Structure 1
Amino acid sequence: MKQASAFEKFAARCWNLLNEGKPFTPIFTVGTMFIFHLTNVFDWNLYSSFLMTLPLFIVYYLFDFPLFLRNYLWIPFVIYLILFQVVSIPLLVTAILLYFFFTVFFWGTLYYHLRIGTSWLNFTRFWKLVLKNSDSTSGNAQEQLPKFLLLLSVWNYFYISDLTEFEYYDWLFIACFYLFVSVFAFILHQKLFDWKPSIISTYTQNVPPPKEAVTKKVVVIVIDGMRKERFEEANTPFLDELRRRGTEFTQMETVYPARTVVCFTSMFTGTYPFEHGIKSNMVWKLGIKVESIFDSLRKVGKKGRLLGIAHLVDSMGDDVETVTAVMHKDEADRNIIERAKKIMDEQDPDLLVVQLIGTDQIGHSRGVLYDEYIEKIEEADALIKEYVDWLEEKGKMEDTTLIICADHGQADGIGGHGHLDEGERFVPFFMAGPSIEEGKAIREKHSLVSLAPTISYLLGAPYPSHSRGPVLVEALKKTAGERK
């Protein structure tokens, strides 16, 4: 299986400018305005009027409007229409048409056909998924539409107005409107945005680091984007058997925002975005600000590898063995498992993390409530069985702890994840191995930030510098848990 090339890593970062909702809004708004006024691109008024609109761009960049908060975005636009009474219907219609062309045809059809081989007719389903989607990507029509309609309207208002004729009360009127939008957004987030997971306030301290390893190896297989209740509906005999032979955490919670690079970074540093610095899939400054589990292992002469897509390099750097994400959806996880065999055979790491991407790809391109999504979970089950059987044949499962989990779930629509809508927040998570309790289910709420310190404990390494998650000692057999 090919590694992600330097070009693919660069292209992935460029794509995130259009995929992540925050950078998409200004890029799309500016692009639409210039397309609409193509014959006037050298008109200074087009640029000066943009500067007049900049405060609104800043407000919409600073604040997310997740889930039901997005409904409130229509209020500033409606107030603008009532107070300013200046609107360009052709401009707004152009913007709406461009938006749905980008999301439904360019992204949902052309992009997914070229990247993972979806049908040229994917638009026949994708348009419905875009309208229903609730995550933090540009495909969230319910958030993006009211944002760019207001920004374009205000920008066009300044563009067609003669600013030299404005009196002081006109500027006061505009300033009051900007102040209203800013205060409105602030109050919404202070009073109504209350569903983020609780932050663990202290660093890992529920158990001291062990003086020796509890297990020889740890293998973590992350089924990217596997929604918990859809997993329960799938026919997964091997994973079900692992759960019966190990310990399951039935209330394992992901982090906010539930984006892949954010989740993986939190899982393998043990802390949150405000501390490790990765706040979306769009990474403006490469590299984490804290230690990772891979840094901890190096301190005791051990080695860890993360096999995943190019996006993860932005966070974890050289600890990532990249895989190309440009391959047919029916070949992706098969190729990843073959690569995982090669890494274990040639490098024999003490920790191997494997990211299976097929389930997430289908969720994004075809939706999570369809049979294709279940089929990908079942395919992952068969491939994980094949890999574990291979490890046993190679003698690498004698004292190995196996951890199976998802980084986040997926909501309805285009497999949305980011804002912790239904289907995103709680993920499958279970452990099996000689040191793990058998047939046990832990029903108390836990967080994925516990993964890094738990791996450290299992492999006899110090906790990462800013690890906050408690070690999952409930899963350890008493003799293993007593080792210090």
Structure 2
Amino acid sequence: MKRASKFEKVAARCWNLLNEGKPFTPIFTAGVMLLFTFTRWGEADFWPAFGTGFLIVLPFLILYFVYDFPLFLRNYLYFPLIACLMLGYQADLKLWLTAAGLYFFFTVFFWGTIYYYLRIGTTLLNFTRFWKLVLKNSDSTSGNAQEQLPKVLLLLTIWHQPLSGTAIDQNFLIGLGIFFLGLLLYTFILHRYLFDWKPAPYTARTSNAEIPEEPVSDRVVVIVIDGMRKDRFEAADTPFLDKLRKEGTEYTQMETVYPARTVVCFSSMFTGTYPSDHGITSNMVWKLGIKTESIFDSLRKINKKGKLLGIAHLVDAMGSDVETVTAVMHNDEADPNIMKRAKQIMLEQNPDFFAVQMIATDQTGHSRGVLYDEYLQKIAEADRLVEDFVSFLEENGMMKNTTLMICADHGQADGIGGHGHLDEGERFVPFFIHGPAIKKGVRIDEKHSLVSLAPTIAYLMGAPYPSHSKGPVLTGALKNSRKFSQ
């Protein structure tokens, strides 16, 4: 199994600049302006006007960088655009059409077709489906047309004013300043009173269970089927995973964290806390490395080994505790190759704690959508691969007193398998635990959070909780008759 190269790691970070909505908006707006005005670059008065336009639009660029408008909030982006036109700002129809054309070329053809063809082997006709996903996507990524287009059109209109001959005098600047303050207040009110779907976090440090003197489990194995939407998992053909959850403890209301982006979720799962503590707030990691202890640090304190097998961008958060696999391969080969490497790691390194990220389900959701048969087929394939891996562990004597956890890091919404801001299909994930120390045939319907993963692993292995862990230990799954505090 080929590991992710240094080039792939850098390329993944660069791609996140175009994938994450926050950096995409200013990058794309600037790119459109430069391309649209290309024939005027040699004019003597062009660059002063271009620079003036940038200065007057800069506050708006910052505002739209700071504030996302995900889910239904994106519907409110058209009102500032209409207000801009009603206030007399000149809109250049050719500029708008250029922006829309370049946007759909980037998202539907470059990203949705060429990029996925080269990276995971999707058909060159993928654009016939991907355009629908771009229009449906409700998360704050570059592929959310209903958020990105009204933002970009407003920004381009303001930027273009000096280039269209509008006099940038005192009256213009006062009027623009009033418009900006109105937009700022409008945005603040929307996010203050309508942005109400973020899960309430645990605030106290983990304290509901005292670490046992002797480990409950000798080994813990966590398999994360990235992007496996809960209701689609229920619809898929998964006999082995169904067997595991029926013979173990299932948490039916396991909630992911906000924002539900892969690097954020993994960071929270393995630190036991939230982005406000560990510092990872999106897949675009501006400063490498989590700011808190992880479960890997906790295990080192008791001389135990942990390893995470995953794709390149997890290195940005978890560093050397991640062994990377390349994500540049046909999607039909991705999970089989990952599980093949997982077997090698178990034989060669024999970690006490091992986490594996399976990626094909997520990649299928992103490239082909979650409401199609291909997505269910990838979940079914994951089921077979997990069964094969567990059989391998049993054959090599590695399942004795081993706790197995199966989960997703997040679900996926309908459009481009979008995830981040907890649309329907993203928030609750499959989660069940199986092993000698785990109660059999138990369903727990009380709401829990993935931040409980790290402290539960620490408890099972007799390791101290990570420094900022806030998730309670999942004591409802434990056979141990020890009295737990509430």
After TM superposition, the structure 1 = structure 2 runs for residues 131-280 of structure 1, keeping only pairs within 5 Å, are: 131-161=135-165, 163=167, 166=169, 168-280=170-282
1:46 and 2:63 aligned:
no
Q: Which amino acid is 1:379 matched to?
A: E
Asked whether the equivalents of residues 89 and 157 of structure 2 are also in contact (C-alpha less than 8 Å), the reply is no
Q: Which amino acid is 2:233 matched to?
A: F
Displacement after TM superposition at 1:85 (Å): 4.0
After TM superposition, the structure 1 = structure 2 runs for residues 29-178 of structure 1, keeping only pairs within 5 Å, are: 29-41=29-41, 43-161=47-165, 163=167, 166=169, 168-178=170-180
Unaligned runs of 5+ in 1: none
Displacement after TM superposition at 1:94 (Å): 0.2
Question: How far apart are the structure 1 equivalents of 2:237 and 2:265?
Answer: 26
Q: TM-score, normalised by structure 2?
A: 0.97
Question: How far apart are the structure 1 equivalents of 2:34 and 2:482?
Answer: 64
Q: Secondary structure at the match of 2:265?
A: helix
1:5 and 2:9 aligned:
no
Q: Per-residue CA shift, 1:2-27, capped at 9, x if unaligned?
A: 00000000000000000000000000
Aligned to 1:27: 27
Q: Per-residue CA shift, 1:5-56, capped at 9, x if unaligned?
A: 0000000000000000000000000000000001233622112211111000
Higher mean displacement: 316-325 or 204-213: 204-213
Q: Which amino acid is 2:150 matched to?
A: P
Match of 1:368 among 370, 375, 385: 370
Question: How far apart are the structure 2 equivalents of 1:357 and 1:84?
Answer: 49
Asked whether the equivalents of residues 214 and 480 of structure 1 are also in contact (C-alpha less than 8 Å), the reply is no
Question: How far apart are the structure 2 equivalents of 1:197 and 1:104?
Answer: 32
Q: Per-residue CA shift, 1:410-450, capped at 9, x if unaligned?
A: 00011010110000000000000000000000000000000
Q: Which amino acid is 1:383 matched to?
A: L
Q: Secondary structure at the match of 1:322?
A: strand
Q: Per-residue CA shift, 1:330-378, capped at 9, x if unaligned?
A: 0000000000000000000000000000000000000000000000000
Q: Per-residue CA shift, 1:436-482, capped at 9, x if unaligned?
A: 00000000000000000000000100000000000000000034777
Q: Which amino acid is 1:91 matched to?
A: L
Q: Per-residue CA shift, 1:300-327, capped at 9, x if unaligned?
A: 0001000000010000000000000000
Q: Secondary structure at the match of 1:257?
A: coil
Displacement after TM superposition at 1:64 (Å): 1.0
Q: Secondary structure at the match of 1:106?
A: helix
Question: How far apart are the structure 2 equivalents of 1:353 and 1:364?
Answer: 23
Identity of aligned residues (%): 67
Match of 1:457 among 452, 456, 459: 459
Q: Which amino acid is 1:5 matched to?
A: S
Asked whether the equivalents of residues 260 and 426 of structure 2 are also in contact (C-alpha less than 8 Å), the reply is yes
Asked whether the equivalents of residues 369 and 415 of structure 2 are also in contact (C-alpha less than 8 Å), the reply is yes
Q: CA RMSD in A?
A: 1.2
Question: How far apart are the structure 1 equivalents of 2:162 and 2:446?
Answer: 55
Displacement after TM superposition at 1:161 (Å): 3.5
Q: Per-residue CA shift, 1:173-220, capped at 9, x if unaligned?
A: 111001011111111111110000001111101112222210000000
Asked whether the equivalents of residues 435 and 480 of structure 1 are also in contact (C-alpha less than 8 Å), the reply is no
Asked whether the equivalents of residues 222 and 405 of structure 1 are also in contact (C-alpha less than 8 Å), the reply is yes
Question: How far apart are the structure 2 equivalents of 1:461 and 1:84?
Answer: 65
1:17 and 2:17 aligned:
yes
1:324 and 2:326 aligned:
yes
Question: How far apart are the structure 2 equivalents of 1:266 and 1:478?
Answer: 26
Displacement after TM superposition at 1:160 (Å): 2.4
Q: Which amino acid is 1:367 matched to?
A: G
Asked whether the equivalents of residues 243 and 432 of structure 1 are also in contact (C-alpha less than 8 Å), the reply is yes
Displacement after TM superposition at 1:114 (Å): 0.2
Unaligned runs of 5+ in 2: none
After TM superposition, the structure 1 = structure 2 runs for residues 292-331 of structure 1, keeping only pairs within 5 Å, are: 292-331=294-333
Q: Which amino acid is 1:376 matched to?
A: K
Q: Secondary structure at the match of 2:332?
A: coil
Question: How far apart are the structure 1 equivalents of 2:483 and 2:236?
Answer: 33
Higher mean displacement: 399-408 or 37-46: 37-46
Displacement after TM superposition at 1:171 (Å): 2.1
Q: Which amino acid is 2:357 matched to?
A: Q
Q: Secondary structure at the match of 1:348?
A: coil
Q: Secondary structure at the match of 1:430?
A: strand
Q: Secondary structure at the match of 2:445?
A: strand
Asked whether the equivalents of residues 261 and 283 of structure 2 are also in contact (C-alpha less than 8 Å), the reply is yes
Aligned to 1:474: 476
Asked whether the equivalents of residues 473 and 481 of structure 1 are also in contact (C-alpha less than 8 Å), the reply is no
Question: How far apart are the structure 1 equivalents of 2:293 and 2:52?
Answer: 45
Asked whether the equivalents of residues 256 and 419 of structure 1 are also in contact (C-alpha less than 8 Å), the reply is yes
Displacement after TM superposition at 1:163 (Å): 4.1
Q: Which amino acid is 2:14 matched to?
A: C
Question: How far apart are the structure 1 equivalents of 2:481 and 2:200?
Answer: 32
Q: Which amino acid is 1:462 matched to?
A: P
Asked whether the equivalents of residues 89 and 158 of structure 2 are also in contact (C-alpha less than 8 Å), the reply is no
Q: Per-residue CA shift, 1:393-412, capped at 9, x if unaligned?
A: 00000110000000000000
